Amino acid sequence: MADVAVETHDIDYQGAVRSLWDSIVNKKYYLTGGVGSGETAEGFGPEYSLRNNAYCESCSSCGEIFFQWKLNLAYHDARYADLYEETLFNALLGSVDLEAKNFYYPNPLDANASRTPWHNCPCCVGNIRGRC
């Protein structure tokens, strides 16, 4: 949607993208830059539902980085760059071990589990190793 807003300069898309960003950042975003409460499977829960054992799927961190980066390119506003750095350095890199071979699929704030080399849903491996 952000790509369409940027390419078409459509005011309705731009408004919708900024509204989504505002909702995510101000009502569904953890201090660590993680997103996704997990109350509704792999998605957002209600507004301000930011539990300590957040789901914060690693792939959602990648998606959030891509979204914030695109908004920064489109609107040249430092708040987008600040947040993609926060998400990258805290939420995404915190999900990967030092060798970048193991990761958390869910990245809860109170994780006491070991990171794993693979998950039955391989999207995180490709997103983390290949893109982010």
99-129 residue pLDDT tens: 877 777 777 666 677 777 766 666 665 566 5
pTM score, whole prediction:
0.81
Q: Return left, alpha or beta for 85; rule: phi > 0 is left, psi -120 to 50 is alpha, else beta.
A: alpha
pLDDT tens per residue across span 21-65: 999 999 988 888 888 766 666 677 788 888 777 778 777 888 888
Q: What is residue 29's three-state secondary structure?
A: strand
Distance (Å, rounded) from C-alpha 57 to C-alpha 120? Answer: 14
Residue 16 has pLDDT above 90, yes or no: yes
